[in-house]
Amino acid sequence: MLVKTSRCAGWILSFLLIATLAFSQEQIRDSTYNADMKLFLVGLGEDTRVIIMPLCKKKIPGIWFVHVHEDESTAADAAIEFIDSTGAGCFVTLKHGMGRNISFNMKGKTYKFDPNRIYTAEGRKATLERFGAYSDSAFSAVSTLANFITSRFIDSNRLVVALHNNTNDGGLTIKSYQKGGDYQNDASKVFVNKKEDPDDFFYTTSLRAFDFFKEKGFNVLLQNNKTVTDDGSLSVYAGMKKIDYINIESEHLKKEQQKKMLAAAMDYIRVCFPPKPVADESDNGK
Ligand SMILES: [Zn+2]
């Protein structure tokens, strides 16, 4: 399951209890973690409820840590432990039954999609078609989920920190974005530190983020917002909306590496997104 601490056992229990109820786009206040925690359920078709689970310690205004692939559990574990230990940050994850992709049944057909390919219309259509069945009503159902996530956790942000895991030498690495790589058109700048594992890298959408992580010696790429393939991923959506976006991509089971990268992301937040100064209300000119 997502986490192994006893505190999170309460979440799992909540998940099981709530999943049996027929809520659709309902908001539920959950008290197992703390007063700030709420769960949201979005219905898909006749039999699937996606649980959207936010966890907040002290909020950092305009910043969310976002985890959409349920099977990439190292990323979620690292983020939860990191936020717990630092006492600051808001994290949200999706739960739907463990795998990477989400499936649902509608009018006798089974549909399936990748929850990181649904944030543009083109991406939603492509991901449904890739896994088989497609219909306008299935597209509409997936749009409801995507719009719910973006309106609640993305659109009003100053920064989105996405969390993903890849596999050891399993295809996607920082080298995939270099000249000759499968995704060379998606990046305008790539920095590779040969001392670092190519599986571990930052994916950014702003030059200042790219420069920041390069300076720290991490593998990092800058998305080319003009030429990136519109695959419906959150990075493409953030690029379109001009929302600063970082993806911490690191190898599955390397939790300490993910935490090291989270700490660097927190440094970036401290430097580039300092808390807004509180106005001196006594200085009103009267
Ligand atoms: Zn992922």
| pTM for this prediction | 0.85
Ligand 1 centre to CA of 164 (Å) is 4
Predicted pLDDT at 38: 74
Ligand 1 centre to CA of 73 (Å) is 10
Chain centroid, CA 249 distance in Å: 11
Ligand 1 centre to CA of 67 (Å) is 8
Ligand 1 centre to CA of 68 (Å) is 7
Q: What is the pLDDT of residues 55-94, one digit of tens each?
A: 888 999 999 999 999 999 999 999 999 999 999 999 999 9
**Domain parsing of the chain, residue ranges:** 6-272
The pLDDT confidence band at residue 10, using thresholds 50, 70 and 90, is very low
* CB contact set of 256 (below 8 Å; sequence gap of 6+): none
Rounded CA-CA distance 102/115 in Å is 7
Q: Which residues of 36-65 are buried (b: 16+ CB within 10 A; e: fewer)?
A: ebebbbbbbbeebbbbbbbbbbeebeebbb
Ligand 1 centre to CA of 266 (Å) is 20
Predicted pLDDT at 6: 39
Ligand 1 centre to CA of 206 (Å) is 20
Rounded CA-CA distance 97/239 in Å is 30
The one-letter amino acid at 273: F
The one-letter amino acid at 57: K
- Are 209 and 243 in contact by the 8 Å Cβ rule? The answer is no
| Neighbour tally for 197: CB within 10 Å | 16
Ligand 1 centre to CA of 278 (Å) is 37
Predicted pLDDT at 20: 39
Ligand 1 centre to CA of 72 (Å) is 6
Rounded CA-CA distance 37/179 in Å is 44
Average pLDDT over residues 98-126: 96
Query: 277 or 8: which carries more pLDDT confidence?
Result: 277
Predicted pLDDT at 277: 64
- Are 210 and 219 in contact by the 8 Å Cβ rule? The answer is no
| Neighbour tally for 140: CB within 10 Å | 11
Ligand 1 centre to CA of 136 (Å) is 26
**CA-based diameter of the chain, in Å?**
70
Ligand 1 centre to CA of 246 (Å) is 13
In this structure, of 34-38, 164-168, 187-191, the range with the lowest mean pLDDT score is 34-38
- Are 243 and 158 in contact by the 8 Å Cβ rule? The answer is yes
Place of tokens 């549909």: 111
Ligand 1 centre to CA of 62 (Å) is 22
Tokens matching residue 264: 């660097």
Three-class secondary structure of residue 220 per DSSP:
strand
Side-chain half-sphere CA neighbours of 241 within 13 A: 21
Ligand 1 centre to CA of 22 (Å) is 28
Query: Which backbone phi and psi does 241 adopt, to 5 degrees?
Result: -90, 0
Predicted pLDDT at 235: 97
CA dihedral 274, 63, 233, 38 (to 10 degrees): 180
What are the start-end ranges of the H helices in 38-95?
73-86
Average pLDDT over residues 260-282: 83
Ligand 1 centre to CA of 135 (Å) is 25
Beta bridge partners of 220: 191, 202
Percent of the chain at pLDDT exceeding 90: 72
The structural architecture, per CATH, of the domain 6-272 is: 3-Layer(aba) Sandwich (3.40)
Rounded CA-CA distance 38/123 in Å is 28
Q: What is the pLDDT of residues 201-255, one digit of tens each?
A: 999 999 999 999 999 999 999 999 999 999 999 999 999 999 999 999 999 889 9
Using the Cα atoms of residue 223, residue 228, residue 229 and residue 230 in order, give the sign of their dihedral. Answer: positive
Name the DSSP letter for residue 276. Answer: P
Ligand 1 centre to CA of 69 (Å) is 5
Ligand 1 centre to CA of 189 (Å) is 21
Predicted pLDDT at 37: 62
Ligand 1 centre to CA of 255 (Å) is 15
Tokens matching residue 175: 């080298």
Tokens matching residue 162: 């996405």
